[in-house]
Chains A and B, each alone.
Chain A
Amino acid sequence: MRQAGFIAVLALLALPVWAIDKKPPLPDPVQQQRYEALVHELRCLKCQGETVADTQAMFGEDIRRQVREMVQAGKSDADVRQYLVDRYGEIILLRPRWSAGNAWLWVAPIIFLLGGAWVAWRILRQRRDLLATDTSEVPEEAPRS
């Protein structure tokens, strides 16, 4: 029984064997780190919810190879992103870049938040004023008409 449990634990520990990215790491650990960070911020266009790092789709495989080669060739992160954006468009970046075109993506939440805060503040103030200024006596319960 204990042996069976032990084997089960060992099997669980072997889960990384199912890893999607099967290529050996780059010889330079710094480059490997950059490569991993990059593929985690790219969208798999074939399977829209996944990152390039997490997908088994052919597309992901090819983009991983491309990124690996570019990193190894000494290209900067910005170079790699630009290369892919030139070919696939901004959509390949999971985190949209700051630009005039998609500034609203970043600004809209702030505007909504400020707008909501303003509305909430007004409502609260209205209520407080009601309490402060309404000195009229509470009338007797009037018969409903």
Chain B
Amino acid sequence: MNRFAIPLGIFAVLVVVFAIALKRAPEKQFVQSALIGKPAPDFVLPDLLTAGASVDSKRFKGRWMLLNVWGTWCFECRAEHEQLLAIQREGKVSVVGLNYKDEDDAARKWLQELGNPFDAVAVDKEGRAAIDYGVYGAPETFLVNPQGVIVYKVVSVITPELWQKTLLPMVEGKAL
């Protein structure tokens, strides 16, 4: 019995370590953005909804901003659309879209059919602004505070729970 004590002890420790790691895996996203706490990169990009105009990210400073990276090719973007509309109706943040590697016509049609949750939609056809933001897919969403600093990044669908429990408390200053 005694000679099994040490291996058994090591095994028990490993089980605990792996159990904790597994439990934490979903919240500890694969790429917990390197940009959190850093100033949101500025961009000036064509405006999807007004021909010839451009969207300047600096315009949204002074207010909380939710920057949502989306595309009509992105299946999960449809899943979070309702929630984006709800957030826009709630009116506590500016909701800005970054239309990522998409077709303008398809994107406009999408907003016509499903409703437009965005204060403005910037067109990032080549994905350059996206690289600046460390984006590697869609949907991805950044919460930017009024000083223009990235506070949080969501690499998945924005669910009502996520908005209520995580994002909104930050906007209202109630988060830890």
| Interface residues of A, Cβ cutoff 8 Å to B | 45-46, 48, 58-59, 62-63, 65-66, 85-91
The reply to whether the CB of B131 lies closer than 8 angstroms to some CB of chain A is: yes
Beta-carbon contact of A89 and B31 below 8 Å: yes
The secondary structure that dominates the A interface is: helix
| Chain A residue at minimum C-beta to C-beta distance from B71 | A58
Q: B34 and A89: CB pair below 8 A?
A: yes
State A93–B42 Cα separation when bound (angstroms): 25
Evaluate contact between A88 and B136: CB separation under 8 angstroms: yes
Complex-state Cα separation, A48 to B137, whole angstroms: 13
Nearest CB to that of B33 among chain A residues?
A89
Residues of B within 8 A of A46 (CB): 136-137
Task: Using CB atoms, name the residue of chain A closest to B34.
Answer: A89
22 A-B pairs (CB sep. < 8 Å): A45-B30, A45-B31, A45-B137, A46-B136, A46-B137, A59-B136, A62-B126, A62-B130, A62-B131, A65-B126, A86-B34, A86-B35, A87-B34, A87-B133, A87-B134, A88-B31, A88-B134, A89-B31, A89-B33, A89-B134, A90-B34, A91-B31
What's the nearest-Cβ distance from chain A to residue B139, in Å?
Answer: 13
- Contact partner, A87, options B32, B101, B132, Cβ 8 Å: B132
User: What's the nearest-Cβ distance from chain B to residue A101, in Å?
Assistant: 13
Also in contact, A89 and B133, with CB within 8 A (given A58-B101, A58-B127, A62-B127): no
The 4 closest A-B pairs by CB, nearest first: A87-B134, A89-B34, A45-B136, A62-B127
**Identity of the chain A residue whose Cβ is nearest the Cβ of B100 in the assembled complex:** A58
Q: Is A88 touching B34 in the complex (CB atoms < 8 A)? A: yes
User: From residue A42, how far is it (CB to closest CB) to chain B in Å?
Assistant: 12
Alpha-carbon distance A59/B130, docked complex (angstroms) = 10
**Bound CA–CA A101/B32 (angstroms):** 16
Which residues of A sit under 8 angstroms from B35, Cβ to Cβ?
86-87
Interface centre among A46, A58, A59, A66 (most CB of B within 10 A): A58
Name the CB-closest residue of B to A48.
B30
In the assembled complex, the Cα of A85 lies from the Cα of B35 at a distance in Å of 10
Q: A46-B136, A63-B131, A89-B33 are in contact. List 10 more A-B contacts (CB 8 A).
A: A46-B137, A58-B101, A59-B136, A59-B137, A62-B126, A85-B34, A88-B34, A88-B134, A88-B136, A89-B32
A59 to B127 CA separation, bound complex (whole angstroms): 9
A62-B34 Cα distance, complex, nearest whole Å: 18
CA distance A130 to B126 in the complex (A): 73
Give every chain B residue within 8 A of A48 (Cβ-Cβ).
Answer: 30
Across-interface contacts of A90 in B (CB, < 8 A) = 34
Q: 1/0 per residue B104-143: CB within 8 Å of A?
A: 0000000000000000000000110011111011000000
Q: Which of B30-81 contact A (CB under 8 A)?
A: 30-35
Q: With a CB–CB cut-off of 8 A, which chain A residues contact B126?
A: 62, 65
A125 → chain B closest CB, angstroms = 17
The distance in angstroms between the C-alpha atoms of A59 and B69, with both chains bound, is 14
Interfacial chain B residues near A91, Cβ < 8 Å:
30-31
